[in-house]
Amino acid sequence: MIDRVKEYLEQVEAFSSTDPQEIETFRVSYAGKKGILNDLFASFREVPVEEKKAFGQELNKLKEAVTTKVKELQTQSRAGASKMRISDPSRTAFPIDTGNRHPLAVVKNRIIDIFTQIGFSISEGPEIEDDWHNFTALNLPAHHPARDMQDTFFIQTDPDILLRTHTSSVQVRHMENNQPPIRTISPGRVFRNEAISSRAHCIFHQVEGLYIAKEVSFADLKQTLKYFTEALFGNSKIRLRPSYFPFTEPSAEVDIYWGLETETDYRITKGTGWLEIMGCGMVDPNVLQNCGIDPDEYSGFAFGMGIERIAMLLYQVSDIRLFFENDVRFLKQFKATL
Ligand code: DAH
């Protein structure tokens, strides 16, 4: 009897398979209700008394060997199956959710890309500014009425510390630390104490541009803007309308020709076909002087635009608040590699 058990033990140890069906058949033949193990336990009665102890020990060994074997083979077979599944090229891909960039980041990167291609560097500055960099150096001395053009969040008074109202503050910082030729753009977040509506928001984003060198003219400014609008909108039909900014003289507002093809075009251009996209001008000599650059030797131009406004035009988004609510159903619609 004991020899039979030992034979079974050898067979169990020698058994191997990766086929789940075969493993199951093996398990049932030993550990099933009518399996070998139960048969052997049933024959326990017939074993002579003096052999009972040894027989019992062998039988337990066999039972354990079966359990271990089955477990081991099942684990191997499962691992093999999942490996096969991964390498199966006909399998449907996992729905991998990669996420995407925020539309404002997409537009910002696009603008950066366009200007860096023609030699502009990127400069940044602090969001918490002092009065000098946000106002005074930009030809806006204390009590200048044009300070009211931008409602300001003050953090502290005397000396005034505030949240910058435009990224023009970065052009001051850049000129203070660099001599011409200067070619730089400054993207960043700005803050204004405005009522929140579908077109205005207290926090938004701007890109400021600055070019200072010898004999820079208004024609250079216009050509640069035409290059930019062509690259971004695929349309370089622009017009410059005389305007006023304290830091530029002369100053202009830039309109792009949007067309009047659809009803929306009529609505957003108020029936004119033209849309304002940014402010610009020749840097006021006072500003150059304030920043340590000799206005008799150098001249330059500057421009500034709102990223939200450009994104609203490019993507036909009618409400600025959508950019800040971060509803994934909105954000998911913007796929871009930039
Ligand atoms: N700083 C202006 C604003 O926030 C935008 C601007 C206009 C910037 C004309 C400029 C410029 O550099 O030349 O409204």
Reported as a single tens digit per residue, the pLDDT across 162-214 is 999 999 999 999 999 999 999 999 999 999 988 877 777 899 999 999 999 99
Q: How much is the average pLDDT of 150-172? A: 93
What pLDDT does 82 receive? 66
Is pLDDT at 338 greater than 90 in this prediction?
Answer: no
Per the listing, tokens 């000129």 go with: 175
Report which of 309, 274, 328, 333 is spatially closest to residue 108, judged by C-alpha positions: 309
At a CB cut-off of 8 Å and minimum separation 6, what does 307 contact? 104, 107, 108, 111, 187, 204, 205, 206, 207
Helix spans in 87-126 (H): 103-116
Q: Which two tokens stand for residue 64?
A: 């354990």
Per the listing, tokens 């410059």 go with: 240
Q: Which two tokens stand for residue 155?
A: 């953090």
Least confident interval from 83-92, 98-107, 294-303:
83-92
At a CB cut-off of 8 Å and minimum separation 6, what does 77 contact? 17, 18, 19, 20, 23
The whole-angstrom separation of Cα 308 and Cα 321 is 10
- Output the residue whose Cα is nearest ligand 1's atom 4: 166
What pLDDT does 50 receive? 87
Taking the centre of ligand 1 as the mean of its atom positions, its distance from the CA of residue 280, in whole angstroms, is 6
CB 190 within 8 A of CB 207: no
Least confident interval from 1-10, 15-24, 99-108, 141-150:
141-150
Interstrand relation of 154-156 and 121-122 (parallel, antiparallel or unpaired)? unpaired
**Residue 288's pLDDT band (cuts 50, 70, 90):** very high
Edge-first strand listing for the sheet containing 161-163: 128-130, 161-163, 154-156
- Return the axis-axis angle of helices 307-315 and 218-233, rounded to nearest 10°: 40
Least confident interval from 74-83, 252-261, 326-335:
74-83
Select from 245, 291, 308 the residue to mutate for testing ligand 1; criterion: most ligand atoms less than 8 Å from CB: 245
Q: How much is the average pLDDT of 242-271? A: 91
Report which of 185, 250, 241, 245 is spatially closest to residue 217, judged by C-alpha positions: 250
The whole-angstrom separation of Cα 85 and Cα 88 is 5
**Residue 336's pLDDT band (cuts 50, 70, 90):** low
CB 190 within 8 A of CB 202: no
What pLDDT does 84 receive? 60
Average predicted confidence (pLDDT) for the chain: 90
Is pLDDT at 88 greater than 80 in this prediction?
Answer: no
| Kind plus residue range of the DSSP H or E element containing 78 | helix 49-86
Report which of 241, 138, 112 is spatially closest to residue 150, judged by C-alpha positions: 138
Pocket of ligand 1 (CB under 6 A): 166, 168, 208, 245, 248, 279-281, 302-304
Higher pLDDT, 337 or 295: 295
Q: Which amino acid is at 167?
A: T
**Residue 85's pLDDT band (cuts 50, 70, 90):** low
Higher pLDDT, 293 or 312: 293
Taking the centre of ligand 1 as the mean of its atom positions, its distance from the CA of residue 101, in whole angstroms, is 27
**Residue 332's pLDDT band (cuts 50, 70, 90):** confident
- Output the residue whose Cα is nearest ligand 1's atom 2: 304
Sequence length of the chain is 338
